[in-house]
Structure 1
Amino acid sequence: MVPHKPTNGPKLTRAHRTARLHFARSHLNCTQQDWSRVLFSDESKIVLHSNDGRKKVYRRKGERFAQCCFEERVAYGGGSRTVWGGISANGKTQLEVVTGPRLPTLNAERYIRECLGPHVIFLFMHDNAGAHAACIVREYLRDVNITVMDWPARSPDMNPIEHMWDEEKRRVRARQPFAQTMQELKTAIEEEWEMIPQNFIERLIKPMSNVMRAVVDAHGGNTRY
């Protein structure tokens, strides 16, 4: 065997595992048509300059400090945008770039005003983040007759939109020229979201039955998804 970095996953308590296992067992018999009625949603943060350390350079001995081997960085990532979106087998929502301060947080009122308000939803999935679970949010969803799935906390592996965010961030990073300002970042985020094809989204949602089975097999633990 050779050493590898451990695979990352959220820390799960016994309560988290129990909730995940219960949810997965309850949805083992859901069909592809059932999952096609679900709008999977979440928010994410996209930074102006990514300092994630994943970029690699090839160099000869003694070239460590050569200019071609440097990557200039902006302190603290240069700012970021909080975004919210939803995907389903029938399409995706408009991407909502949350307005506000330089490093915005999404509270309950803003979640309703900027994310939920503009959209008509058939069966809604969101996680149990504080803004999502607030009483005002639950009341709003009840008032507009939106059915909400009882989604377990700390379960990004069960939400296909996490892979959508990976694709979105990859596309934004790959743009040439790179976004240099917050407005350019906003434009890049919105344009790349619109260009992600529907067949890509369908491929993300298609394995949901396998995801539920994997959670059951892991006794509620983290999965490869």
Structure 2
Amino acid sequence: MELFGRSVSHYIWRKSSTAFQKKNIIPTVKHGGGSVMVWGCFAASGPGRLAVINGTMNSAVYQKILKENVRPSVCDLKLKRTWVLQQDNDPKHTSKSTSEWLKKNKMKTLEWPSQSPDLNPIEMLWHDLKKVVRARKPSNVAELQQFSKDEWAKIPPQRCNRLIASYGKRLIAVVAAKGGPSSY
């Protein structure tokens, strides 16, 4: 999530020849405006915990996030013993130490194709979260963090359920697109 970063789009409707009027100029922020990295999880029953990541994430940091957030989320969401952790193929997720940690902590993971955001239901939640946080117009990193936490907690269980329920349709769309981009 970026505060004033490159991923934030700005559109202005203006008359020609008014480009340099003050009301039509978007101020820039030197050295970026700051960003927040978060980790989150969810199930069909609703959003789980959201963790703010300070600094660089490596395998050790990732394992700490899992330790502090997965089981509490499983309990909060009242999941049965059959839950499975779905993660992408980021190197810190698939490192030898993380694989050993997951095995030691009896966390079953779902095999996952790389570069498959259309199949990953949490990508849709990240999109939703960015949209509502951006609409609140955070003015600093602390607000960006707080708004992210606030809005994550407001995600309706019905939204999560629909994302899980639509997985079959997403899979069919990706296969039809021969692995390319789909409408999801």
What TM-score, normalized to structure 2? Answer: 0.86
The aligned length equals 174
Structure with the higher strand share, 1 or 2: 1
- The reply on whether 1:134 has 2:98 as its aligned counterpart is no
In 1, Cα distance between equivalents of 2:111 and 2:171: 14
AA paired with 1:147?
Answer: K
What SS does structure 2 have at the residue aligned with 1:156? coil
Asked whether the equivalents of residues 84 and 115 of structure 1 are also in contact (C-alpha less than 8 Å), the reply is no
Aligned to 1:222: 181
Q: Among 44, 61, 67, which residue is 1:110 paired with?
A: 61
Q: Among 166, 171, 184, which residue is 1:212 paired with?
A: 171
Which consecutive unaligned segments of at least 5 residues does structure 2 have?
75-82
Asked whether the equivalents of residues 96 and 115 of structure 1 are also in contact (C-alpha less than 8 Å), the reply is no
Aligned to 1:180: 139
In 1, Cα distance between equivalents of 2:123 and 2:130: 11
In 1, Cα distance between equivalents of 2:127 and 2:172: 23
Residue 137 of structure 1, CA deviation:
0.9
Q: Among 6, 16, 22, which residue is 1:67 paired with?
A: 22
Asked whether the equivalents of residues 86 and 93 of structure 1 are also in contact (C-alpha less than 8 Å), the reply is yes
In 1, Cα distance between equivalents of 2:31 and 2:172: 40
Residue 76 of structure 1, CA deviation:
4.0
CA deviation map 1:116-136 (0-9, x unaligned): 443225211001101100111
In 1, Cα distance between equivalents of 2:30 and 2:115: 30
Asked whether the equivalents of residues 108 and 134 of structure 1 are also in contact (C-alpha less than 8 Å), the reply is yes
Runs in 1 of length 4+ with deviation above 6 angstroms?
none
Asked whether the equivalents of residues 51 and 69 of structure 2 are also in contact (C-alpha less than 8 Å), the reply is no
Within 5 Å, which residues of 2 pair with 1:1-225? Answer: 46-52=1-7, 54-100=9-55, 105-120=56-71, 122-175=83-136, 178-225=137-184
Residue 180 of structure 1, CA deviation:
2.2
Residue 94 of structure 1, CA deviation:
1.1
What SS does structure 2 have at the residue aligned with 1:84? strand
AA paired with 2:106?
Answer: N
Residue 149 of structure 1, CA deviation:
0.7
In 2, Cα distance between equivalents of 1:149 and 1:98: 23
CA deviation map 1:78-125 (0-9, x unaligned): 11111010121022211100123xxxx321000011234432252110
Which consecutive unaligned segments of at least 5 residues does structure 1 have?
1-45
Residue 53 of structure 1, CA deviation:
5.9
What SS does structure 2 have at the residue aligned with 1:75? coil
In 2, Cα distance between equivalents of 1:98 and 1:112: 12
In 2, Cα distance between equivalents of 1:116 and 1:154: 26
What TM-score, normalized to structure 1? Answer: 0.72
CA deviation map 1:141-162 (0-9, x unaligned): 1112111111011101100111
